[in-house]
């Protein structure tokens, strides 16, 4: 379930930041004064920024960072002025991107059990976050440093958690080479290499496509998707190569987002899967959502599931290979890991996929020899209507060298 960080502009020029799992419902509560406190006394309120995050912890971190921003940075965020945000963040005598202070959480353990589980329950943090804080020496139990998340605790034990000051939220411009396929005043199409993350996130604060775009576009990118993801309309996985369209203006972003929402965008992927699909072409339909067994993975859910999202992938075998096949996948929908999950669900996972598949035994030596260690997936074709000019645009990107070598070796 996604979570949202958001910012409101209130009567009198004040700002309010918060986080929620249901942005539409929470906004409605703010607008009618149903939430007692700050915003109910400053109606009317207007949503001026929001951003979606995969976990509550990340949304909470974003909320805390924004609370420490100066009014100048918040106004720059609303305008989508990334160059000014970066400039303000770098000024030694300028506004800070965060309060710079350590937050202290304290309280009492509520139940018997493992320390990490008990603290997650009592503090609202995730167990993984608690484990990391324990490892960093940021947790005390009854006045003594906690050393293991698996230690047993009893109800009533007093805890103190020192949350370090958050890192700056705004991505910084970096001079990273880009393969630009098309560009005008409103958008650009880029051929992303495998290994490049699309936007900054936990564990990948820089070196991303967004960092490169901020430098290439001199900060002129759509601000609709938030300060950490300027210009980003859609994403492909870190280890998937190929085409993405990026919005430079808000009008272009809105127009492109509408086409993605109504599934009128044309997207075709080339992939090398294990085995030979039978039939050689067909359609895979199935709801995709978080796996019940592993929350870090996606899975095809039962047809009667109340969660997950409808997903359709049309595939066609382009070339039979040794214990593998080159297939083209046309996406009717765009769900997280859709091609990878759908292909695995019919028994033909992508070669090299470390999450959803196992390489056929006869091909393990080949992949090792080629040092091929990523899912064999490339976003080869992208077509859409230009949201400003109305022109029909179609782009293609050739297979990258590592996938060509894989196909050549398995075609012998």
Residues 6 or more apart in contact with residue 37 via CB below 8 angstroms? none
Instruction: Write phi, then psi, for 27 (nearest 5 degrees).
Output: -60, -40
How many whole angstroms separate alpha carbon 252 and alpha carbon 394?
16
Q: What radius of gyration, in Å, describes the C-alpha atoms of the chain?
A: 24
How many whole angstroms separate alpha carbon 271 and alpha carbon 274?
10
215, 174 Cβ separation under 8 angstroms: yes
Q: Which two tokens stand for residue 238?
A: 């870190």
How many whole angstroms separate alpha carbon 122 and alpha carbon 46?
33
**Residue 28 burial (CB count, 10 A):** 11
DSSP 67: H
Supply the residues annotated as catalytic. 237
How many whole angstroms separate alpha carbon 96 and alpha carbon 88?
8
How many whole angstroms separate alpha carbon 289 and alpha carbon 302?
10
Of the candidates 199, 244, 200, 249, which has an alpha carbon nearest to the alpha carbon of residue 222? 249
Residues 6 or more apart in contact with residue 2 via CB below 8 angstroms? 21, 52, 53, 54
Q: At what angle do helices 115-123 and 127-135 cross, to 10 degrees?
A: 120
**Inter-CA distances, 205 with 186, 201, 202, Å:** 26, 6, 7
Q: Which two tokens stand for residue 203?
A: 């564990």
Of the candidates 334, 121, 325, 372, which has an alpha carbon nearest to the alpha carbon of residue 245? 334
Q: Dihedral sign for Cα 397, 400, 406, 412, please.
A: positive
Q: Encode burial over 128-155: b for 16+ CB neighbours within 10 A, e otherwise.
A: ebbbebbeeebbebeeeebeebeeebee
């Amino acid at each position: 379930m996604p979570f949202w960080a958001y910012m409101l502009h209130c009567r009198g020029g004040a700002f309010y930041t918060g986080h929620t799992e249901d942005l539409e419902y929470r906004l409605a509560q703010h607008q009618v004064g149903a939430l007692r406190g700050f915003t109910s006394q400053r109606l009317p309120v207007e949503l001026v920024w929001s951003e979606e995050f995969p976990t509550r912890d990340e949304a909470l971190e974003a909320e805390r960072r924004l609370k420490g921003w100066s009014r100048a940075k918040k106004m720059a965020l609303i305008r989508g002025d990334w160059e000014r945000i970066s400039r303000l963040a770098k000024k030694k005598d300028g506004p800070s991107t965060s309060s710079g202070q350590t937050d202290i959480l304290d309280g009492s353990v509520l139940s018997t059990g493992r320390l990490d589980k008990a603290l997650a329950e009592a503090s609202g943090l995730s167990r993984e976050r608690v484990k990391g804080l324990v490892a960093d020496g940021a947790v005390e139990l009854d006045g003594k440093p906690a050393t293991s998340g698996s230690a047993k605790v009893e109800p009533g034990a007093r805890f103190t958690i020192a949350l370090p000051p958050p890192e700056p939220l705004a991505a910084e411009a970096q001079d990273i080479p880009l393969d630009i396929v098309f560009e005008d005043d409103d958008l650009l199409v880029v051929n992303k290499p495998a290994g490049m993350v699309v936007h900054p996130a936990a564990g990948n604060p820089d070196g991303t496509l967004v960092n490169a775009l901020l430098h290439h576009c001199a900060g002129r990118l759509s601000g609709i998707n938030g300060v950490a993801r300027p210009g980003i309309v859609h994403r492909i996985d870190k280890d998937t190569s190929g085409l993405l369209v990026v919005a430079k203006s808000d009008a272009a972003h809105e127009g492109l987002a509408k086409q993605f929402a109504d599934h009128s965008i044309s997207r075709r992927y080339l992939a090398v899967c294990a085995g030979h699909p039978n039939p050689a072409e067909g359609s895979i339909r199935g709801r995709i959502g978080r796996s019940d067994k592993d929350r870090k993975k996606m899975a095809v859910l039962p047809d009667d599931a109340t969660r997950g999202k409808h997903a359709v992938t049309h595939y066609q075998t382009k070339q039979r290979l040794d214990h593998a096949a080159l297939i083209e996948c046309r996406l009717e929908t765009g769900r997280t890991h859709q091609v990878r999950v759908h292909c695995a669900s019919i028994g033909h996972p992508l070669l090299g996929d470390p999450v959803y598949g196992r390489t056929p035994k006869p091909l393990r030596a080949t992949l090792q020899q080629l040092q091929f260690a990523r899912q064999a997936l490339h976003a080869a074709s992208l077509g859409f209507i230009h949201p400003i000019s109305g022109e029909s645009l179609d782009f293609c990107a050739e297979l990258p060298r590592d996938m060509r070598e894989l196909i050549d070796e398995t075609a012998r």
